[in-house]
Amino acid sequence: MGSGIGLLKKPSEKFLRYSLAFAASMMIGISLMELIPEALESASAIFVLIGFALGTSIVLALDKILPHLHPEFCKKEENMVRCVAMLVIGIALHNIPEGLAIGIGFALEPSLGILIALVIALQDIPENIATVIPLYSLTGKRRLSFAIVFGTILFELFGFLIGFFVLRDMPSVMLGMALGAAAEVMTFISVHELLPEAKLTENPHGKSAAILAGFAAVLLAITLL
């Protein structure tokens, strides 16, 4: 959806920054208010912490092996094909943990899975817009740019299938650890990627309001679901 919006009408940079702040607060909110409490119901705190550490190891390993490049970096790269390929692979692999979080949520409780999927889908919109616009400027082809971004989203489906079918029959302790790992992944994405891209020091009052709105949206979604 975000890639289609970005190609049809380029949103303002201000809108994207506010959207990223809003999405980051939703990701953190769902981790603190839903994932961790659910994890503690399935396993003791020590096992949840182990899961949290495992999630940290996964995302740090992905970042070290294949950093999450941004399209702006390709403007300085002489080998354009290689840079675009690295960009796409990096985004795709970083989408797998998001899919895992959704799958784990559905494995525990469908309403929790829906809530996680909704939050991740909302954060994907500004992220995909921010990716497809410079990608289109690099390739000069709308359909190709859309196909590339859409293809990276399919990796979330792959992560979902693993999280749901592999973990749904696991003992409750393992599920609690998995939820702890999912909470860490969503928090890491927010703190490491979304909030820095939101540039909170620019118009901090407005972006603070966007962050508070994100938490309010999570509370509303929890109430409705």
3-state secondary structure the chain: CHHHHHHHCCCCHHHHHHHHHHHHHHHHHHHHHHHHHHHHHHCCHHHHHHHHHHHHHHHHHHHHHCCCCCHHHHHHCCCHHHHHHHHHHHHHHHHHHHHHHHHHHHHHCHHHHHHHHHHHHHHHHHHHHHHHHHHHHHHCCHHHHHHHHHHHHHHHHHHHHHHHHHHCCCCHHHHHHHHHHHHHHHHHHHHHHHHHHHCCCCCHHHHHHHHHHHHHHHHHHHHHC
Tally the domains of the chain.
1
Do the domain assignments include residue 87? yes
Q: Is residue 6 part of a domain?
A: no
pLDDT tens by residue, the chain, 225 residues? 545 554 555 667 777 778 778 888 888 888 888 889 888 988 899 999 999 998 888 878 877 766 555 555 555 545 556 666 666 676 777 778 788 888 888 887 888 888 888 888 877 777 777 667 666 766 677 777 777 778 778 888 888 998 888 877 778 888 888 888 888 888 887 888 778 877 878 888 888 888 898 888 888 887 876
Do the domain assignments include residue 37? yes
Residue 3 lies in a domain: no
Tell me the whole-structure pTM to 2 decimals: 0.73
Boundaries of domain holding 101:
15-224
